[in-house]
């Protein structure tokens, strides 16, 4: 009778170690968002006003995303910051301020990443 509880405890301990070892570290997100039309700068009157979920990350959230982009850096023409871009997702690093920023939007109905903010 005593072997069952010991075996169960051993199984649960191993399951906990395996689950914890492979799990990602989740953190809170810094930044802001807006729900906008696709052409948020100059939308037409008939354009739906809620098709895109725009995200602007700052702080550690932006730094983590910037560092995960394994592409060469370029100089951003709008800001002069170092830029990493993958598809339509853009992250910036302002050397002088040691500040990170990322922006992109999600086309809600098509589940596609698009540009975040205009220059």
Q: How far apart are CA 2 and CA 6, in angstroms?
A: 7
pLDDT over 50 at 48, yes or no: yes
Tell whether the torsion through CA atoms of 103, 106, 112 and 114 is positive or negative. Answer: negative
Task: Delimit the domains of the chain by residue range.
Answer: 29-114
DSSP 61-91: HHHHHHHH--S--EE-TTT-SEEEEETTEEE
pLDDT value for 9: 43
State the average pLDDT for the chain: 87
DSSP 1-19: --HHHHHHHHHHHHHHHHH
Percent of the chain with pLDDT over 90: 78
Element (H, E) at 21: helix 3-22
Question: What is the DSSP secondary structure assignment for residue 20, as one 8-state letter?
Answer: H
pLDDT value for 22: 63
pLDDT digits over 58-114, tens only?
A: 999 999 999 999 999 999 999 999 999 999 999 999 999 999 999 999 999 999 999
Predicted confidence band at 119 (pLDDT cuts at 50, 70, 90)?
A: confident
């Amino acid at each position: 009778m005593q072997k069952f509880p010991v075996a169960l405890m051993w199984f649960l301990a191993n399951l906990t170690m395996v689950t914890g070892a492979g799990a990602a570290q989740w953190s809170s997100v810094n930044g802001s968002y807006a729900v906008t039309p696709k052409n948020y700068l100059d939308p037409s009157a008939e354009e739906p006003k809620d098709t895109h979920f725009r995200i602007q990350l700052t702080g550690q959230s932006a730094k983590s995303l910037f560092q995960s982009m394994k592409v060469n850096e370029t100089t951003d023409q709008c800001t002069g910051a170092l830029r990493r871009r993958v598809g339509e997702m853009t992250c910036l690093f302002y050397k002088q301020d040691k500040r990170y920023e990322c922006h992109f939007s999600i086309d809600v109905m098509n589940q596609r990443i698009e540009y975040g903010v205009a220059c």
